[in-house]
Amino acid sequence: QQQVKQSPQSLIVQKGGISIINCAYENTAFDYFPWYQQFPGKGPALLIAIRPDVSEKKEGRFTISFNKSAKQFSLHIMDSQPGDSATYFCAASRRAGGTSYGKLTFGQGTILTVHP
Amino acid sequence: NAGVTQTPKFRVLKTGQSMTLLCAQDMNHEYMYWYRQDPGMGLRLIHYSVGEGTTAKGEVPDGYNVSRLKKQNFLLGLESAAPSQTSVYFCASSPYGGAGELFFGEGSRLTVL
């Protein structure tokens, strides 16, 4: 079963627009929520991450919003640029304890295209 | 600095053949992972290791075996390849496990005919 569900599968925005990608998780033991960015032919790379003790984290044009009660989190890309065109993955894990320790569960991925 | 290196980058196999994918990391990380990436499925964990000499099953382990004899290397083996194993395979390493940053290799594209 897919423990982290991501939407949309693909997203097209104009340069300067806002890109929003959403994720929902099922396991309430998850306590670390990163986003990874992947360019064609490359491996994923960490973009930004959040822990559930805060509701929002911002790094430059990238913001994670986290809603613990709804078990949802989202990535907002402000002033989207053509160079942001990539595949984005949300993910979740738990920091310690239990059989899930050490494992990062990924969403299905979103292909973002930013038109000039 | 090399980071995480995967070999080979491309391979074509016939059904029933065997092969091994090699992952090497030079960051002295304890944790290593093998994921497969398929369209619309995201990254799915095959096997992982929390230290030298240890391995554990992930989400989709069937048809694969792994070994971590040296801390810097994590091998993924396919004993009898099937077309369903056509995929892009990514190795990753991490100093702190899944609750910290994973460092990925550039992937190995495997086609099974």
Structure tokens at A61: 């044009």
**Residue for token pair 């790094």:** A59
SS3 A12: strand
pLDDT tens-digit series, residues A49-88: 998 889 999 999 999 999 999 999 999 999 999 999 999 9
- In A, minimum Cα distance to B6 occurs at A43
Give A108's DSSP letter. -
Task: Tell me the percentage of chain A whose pLDDT exceeds 90.
Answer: 78
Yes or no, beta carbons of A34 and B101 under 8 Å apart:
yes
When scoring A23, A103, A110 by the number of chain B Cβ atoms within 10 A, the one with the most, hence best to mutate, is A103
Using one digit for the tens of pLDDT, what is the confidence trace for A13-23?
999 999 999 99
C-alpha–C-alpha distance, residues A102 and A106, integer Å: 13
Whether residue A103 and residue B48 make contact (CB cut-off 8 A), yes or no, is yes
| Interface touch B99/A42, C-beta < 8 Å | no
